[in-house]
């Protein structure tokens, strides 16, 4: 407090519950925090004023996420462990390349600090850049491989790959005595093929980008132990050793009726072959990014039918054709396989090709017959006429699109007035929707310097 007439900070007038909520939002991480930028911390909030400091230090919830990266700050880690009391923990091991170089004695001190607290971990994340030496990651797994983890919900072990060294070990050891709440498992780079967590309750599984592309057997062993799996993501052209059936085509190896979302990131060449080996009869969402290099342009020449591979039930489709020539081949062929699509997300778009493709016919009618929502990314005012003509073309044929969306950055370039004019002239809802960016930002490797999933939208407009 200050004397009469003196100014006081407005921060002192904010109710305690609002301060707590602000702090929680400030500390909530993105799924891909950059290894190079410091995370938000309760300590930074405690410097605002005395009242905020008291709130921060008295709320154990604000101390439950511990970001661990060298050089170790053992006092800070101990402070987090103490102030989080008995609440569930999130341990985020980042900047992994530097962790490898950390001294063995320092790692021992770190693990001694964490030893009494493993059982209250709800999330363990290891990410960064893996070199040949994955000793720290192995030591971490050795610390917890024989532990009961009753609260663990997430296990992520992934990072960018080193150009050298072999990361795959055929005899992947089981880790954890039990983890009954584990539902989200992401294993990439050194994580895939190296560790085997309990999978019986996993609903989201993401694998890929290992050093060797011959891991189909390991993958099949994993997925067959996931009876509750709902979402599957595969990164990179991982399975060059997929088998062929005796008739020269693929024989189904498994049916997974609980899976409703399949995401394929990276230049996966044999998409149809993969989806004929693994059948997903109740698939609702399918993503292929990028589509360049895949076998999509040849799909209509194959002997399979959409319902056989589970594509007939897909209602939301993400495609990233990458180049104009691939756009003209990928999108029409995808329309033949995904005939029930209601929401189509085109990650990369070109105005001339967009109009050309969507004004052609498929079996005597428009492509994507049931399309209701078209989502376009990385567009500007040059696309407006093509979009208007596309909407008019479909409307005249009784196949109107009810909603057209663009990403946030595109909306800035197009302008609010132009979007309103498009909505008025076409009698279509035109709005902002960041479906692709939400998926991209929440994927493994999304901060990879080699742009494994494509260039972030913020860089497209630089």
CA 400 to CA 261: how far, in whole Å? 26
Cα atoms in the Cβ-side hemisphere of radius 13 Å centred on 241 = 9
For residue 258, the model assigns a pLDDT of 96
Q: Sketch the domain layout of the chain as residue ranges.
A: 16-63
Express each pLDDT in 427-456 by its tens digit: 999 999 999 988 988 888 766 544 545 555
For residue 32, the model assigns a pLDDT of 38
Query: Bridge-partner residues for 430, per DSSP?
Result: 404
* Total count of residues recorded for the chain: 462
Dihedral, CA of residue 330, residue 336, residue 341 and residue 342, to nearest 10: 90
For residue 34, the model assigns a pLDDT of 39
Helical residues (DSSP H) of 73-127, grouped into ranges? 74-83, 96-100, 104-114
Q: Could you tell me the pTM of the whole model?
A: 0.85
Asked if omega into 290 is within 30° of 0 (cis), the reply is yes
- Contact in structure between 174 and 202 (CB atoms under 8 Å): no
Express each pLDDT in 386-395 by its tens digit: 999 999 999 9
- DSSP 3-state assignment of 65? strand
User: Which position has the token pair 């900070």?
Assistant: 9
For residue 72, the model assigns a pLDDT of 72
- Contact in structure between 183 and 202 (CB atoms under 8 Å): yes
State the average pLDDT over residues 333-345: 92
State the average pLDDT over residues 207-223: 77
Q: Which of 17-31, 204-218, 279-293, 338-352 has the highest mean pLDDT?
A: 338-352
Q: Which pLDDT band, with edges at 50, 70 and 90, does 186 fall under?
A: very high
Q: Minimum mean pLDDT among 142-156, 205-219, 330-344, 409-423: which range? A: 205-219
């Amino acid at each position: 407090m200050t004397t009469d007439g003196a100014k006081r900070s407005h921060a002192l007038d904010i109710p305690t519950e609002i301060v707590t909520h602000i702090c929680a939002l400030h500390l909530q991480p993105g799924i891909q925090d950059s290894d190079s930028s410091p995370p938000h911390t309760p300590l930074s909030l405690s410097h605002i004023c005395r009242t905020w400091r008291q709130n921060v230090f008295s709320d154990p919830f604000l101390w439950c996420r511990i970001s661990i990266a060298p050089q170790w700050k053992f006092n800070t880690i101990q402070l987090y462990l103490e102030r989080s009391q008995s609440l569930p923990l999130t341990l985020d091991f980042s900047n992994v390349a530097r962790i490898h170089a950390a001294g063995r004695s320092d790692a021992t001190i770190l693990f001694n600090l964490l030893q009494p607290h493993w059982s209250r971990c709800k999330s363990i994340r290891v990410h960064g850049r893996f070199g040949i030496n994955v000793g720290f990651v192995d030591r971490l797994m050795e610390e917890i491989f024989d532990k009961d983890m009753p609260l663990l919900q997430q296990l992520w072990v992934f990072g960018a790959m080193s150009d050298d060294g072999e990361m795959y070990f055929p005899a992947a050891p089981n880790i954890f005595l039990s983890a009954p709440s584990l539902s989200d498992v992401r294993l990439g780079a050194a994580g895939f093929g190296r560790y085997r967590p309990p999978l019986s309750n996993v609903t989201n599984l993401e694998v890929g980008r290992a050093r060797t592309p011959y891991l189909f057997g390991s993958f099949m062993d994993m997925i067959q132990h996931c009876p509750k799996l709902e979402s599957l993501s595969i990164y990179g052209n991982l399975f060059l050793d997929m088998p062929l059936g005796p008739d020269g085509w693929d024989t189904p190896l498994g049916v997974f009726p609980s899976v409703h979302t399949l995401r394929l990131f990276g230049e996966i060449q044999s998409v149809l072959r993969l989806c004929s080996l693994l059948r997903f009869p109740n698939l609702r969402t399918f993503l292929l990014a990028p589509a360049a290099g895949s076998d999509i342009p040849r799909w209509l020449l194959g002997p399979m039918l959409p319902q056989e591979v589970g594509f007939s039930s897909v209602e939301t489709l993400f495609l990233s054709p990458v180049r104009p020539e691939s756009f003209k081949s990928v999108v029409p062929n995808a329309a033949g396989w995904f005939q029930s699509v209601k929401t189509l997300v085109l990650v990369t778009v070109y105005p001339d090709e967009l109009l050309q493709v969507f004004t052609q016919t498929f079996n005597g009618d428009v492509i994507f017959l049931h399309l209701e929502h078209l989502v376009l990314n990385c567009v500007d005012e040059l696309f407006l006429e093509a979009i208007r003509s596309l909407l008019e073309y479909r409307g005249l044929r009784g196949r109107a699109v009810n909603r057209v969306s663009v990403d946030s950055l595109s909306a800035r370039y197009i302008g609010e007035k132009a979007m309103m004019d498009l909505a008025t002239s076409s009698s279509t809802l035109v709005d902002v929707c960041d479906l692709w960016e939400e998926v991209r930002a929440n994927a493994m490797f999304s901060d990879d310097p080699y742009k494994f999933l494509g260039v972030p939208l913020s860089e497209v407009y630089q």
